[in-house]
A = this chain, B = another copy of it.
Amino acid sequence: MRNDKAPTMADIARKTGVSPMTVSRAFKSGSLINKDTRDAILKAAEDLGYVFDSTASNLRSQKTGFIAVTIPSINNANFADTVRGLSELLSAHGFQILLGYTNYDTEEEERLIEQFLRRKPQAIVVTGGKHTPRARKLLENANVPVIETWDVPAEPIGHFVGFSNADAVRSMVDHFVAAGYTRIAFIGGDASRDTRGSDRRLGFIAALSDHGLDASRLIDAGAPPISMREGANAMARLLAEYPDTEAVICVSDLSAFGALTECQRRGVPVPARIAIGGFGDYEIGGISVPALTTINAQARQIGERTGQLILDLIDDKPDLHHVTIEPQLIVRESSR
């Protein structure tokens, strides 16, 4: 069954009595070739068990069909949605995504970018706008489109598709203040690694200050990604340190749900005694009892817009694109 060597286009050419070039054409859609010839070639290929060799094609044509993508974590429904949006569009156009996880670490991101560039991707998508100097240099010299996502970078490397994490949280603060809450806390936002989380915390502080409110109720919950458990622990600390807190905004729905469960275990009513807000509109926030007020960051849309942008860029429309997404505040039972 297993031949000594896998058949090549040359084998098909011999068998069909045409040149290798014609075999090549038979496999490309939209190339000029007689229908009978093509059918004969495809049949011969099937008979021989031929498998097209992308590696050779990639080298000669200088097109790999790869799109490199780095995300902080594979185990996060938000980033997964972005990748899905990207993936569905791009794979329909024959592209293959090279996915890498930075683990919220820019050093790891640098390593990934270096590895990916060796594969000659036709575009590279990164999450966030903070990178090591070397990573930045690699991206700038890469000679392929670079798209930063999930952020509005202060100094974009190339294109970006994102939103302001600070402004998004501000909209939630406004909601809480309008609802009459004044003693508001924030859980999460460790600055050591996750810039999106710390941007949210900064947005929280700025917004409270603008309202003339005290912005010192900040509970650290450890390095990202923050688990539900860490959210619960943070809520326990919050209730101990600032017992008169009326509302709390968590860096994500996951930590928010963890915080909610801590209240449930202690018999603290939500929102009657304390209101809770999350971030990311994860499925759990919509179904928990009570359901969680949150912000939909349009993760999927980020992916779709990024994918469309890449298709445009590869299709040779080399304008610079700065796409700003509008996150949506979703008010649910946990804050009313």
A residues near B (Cβ < 8 Å) are 1-2, 6, 49, 51-56, 58-59, 64, 74-75, 77, 80-81, 83-84, 87, 96-99, 101, 115, 117-120, 140-141, 143, 227-229, 232, 254, 257-258, 261, 264-265, 283-284, 286-289
- Shortest beta-carbon distance, A281 to chain B, in Å? 13
Q: Are B55 and A143 in contact (CB under 8 A)?
A: no
Known contacts A118-B51, A120-B55, A261-B289; decide if A229 and B98 are in contact (CB<8 Å). Answer: no
Q: Report the nearest B residue to A265, measured CB to CB.
A: B289
CA of A14 to CA of B140, assembled, Å:
26
Using A98-B96, A261-B288, A289-B264 as known contacts, say yes or no to A64 and B74 having CB atoms under 8 A apart: no
Query: With A53-B118, A228-B287, A261-B287 known to touch, is A75 a contact of B64 (CB < 8 Å)?
Result: no
Chain B contacts of A6 at CB under 8 A? Answer: 143
The reply to whether A120 and B53 form a contact with Cβ atoms under 8 Å apart is yes
Alpha-carbon distance between A98 and B232 when the two chains are bound, in angstroms:
36
Residue of B nearest to A286 (CB): B229
Docked complex Cα distance between A51 and B51 (Å): 29
Are the CB atoms of A87 and B75 closer together than 8 Å? Answer: no
CA distance A59 to B96 in the complex (A): 18
Which of A59, A75, A97, A117 counts the most chain B CB atoms within 10 A? A75
Q: What DSSP secondary structure best describes chain A's contact surface?
A: helix
Q: How far is the CB of A209 from chain B (nearest CB, A)?
A: 33
Query: A54 near B120 (CB under 8 angstroms)?
Result: yes
Q: Is the pair B141, A283 in contact by a Cβ cutoff of 8 Å?
A: no
Shortest Cβ distance from residue A227 to the other chain B in the assembled complex, whole angstroms: 6
Are A55's CB and B59's CB within 8 A? yes
**With A59-B56, A84-B75, A118-B53: A283-B2 Cβ-Cβ less than 8 Å:** no
Complex contact A229–B283 (CB within 8 A)? yes
The CA of A40 and the CA of B293, in the complex, are separated in Å by: 59
Excluding A1-B140, A261-B287, 8 further A-B contacts by CB distance (< 8 Å) are A54-B118, A55-B64, A55-B120, A56-B59, A74-B80, A74-B87, A87-B101, A258-B287
* B115 and A96 within 8 A (CB): yes
Chain B nearest CB, measured from A33 CB (Å): 20
Please give me the 10 A-B residue pairs with the lowest Cβ-Cβ distance, nearest first. A75-B80, A264-B289, A54-B118, A55-B58, A52-B118, A55-B59, A74-B80, A228-B287, A54-B119, A59-B59
Q: Which chain B residues lie closer than 8 Å to A232 at the CB level? A: 287
Chain B residue with minimal CB distance to A231? B287
Candidate in A55, A117, A261 with the most chain B CB atoms within 10 angstroms: A55
The distance in angstroms between the C-alpha atoms of A268 and B53, with both chains bound, is 59
Complex-state Cα separation, A88 to B74, whole angstroms: 12
A228–B261 CB distance below 8 A = no
Q: Which residue of B lies closest to A74 (CB)?
A: B80
A-B contact pairs, 30 of them (CB 8 A): A2-B143, A6-B143, A49-B141, A51-B117, A51-B118, A54-B119, A54-B120, A55-B55, A55-B58, A55-B59, A56-B59, A58-B59, A59-B59, A74-B80, A74-B87, A75-B84, A84-B101, A87-B101, A96-B119, A228-B283, A228-B287, A229-B283, A229-B287, A232-B287, A254-B283, A257-B284, A261-B289, A264-B289, A265-B289, A284-B284
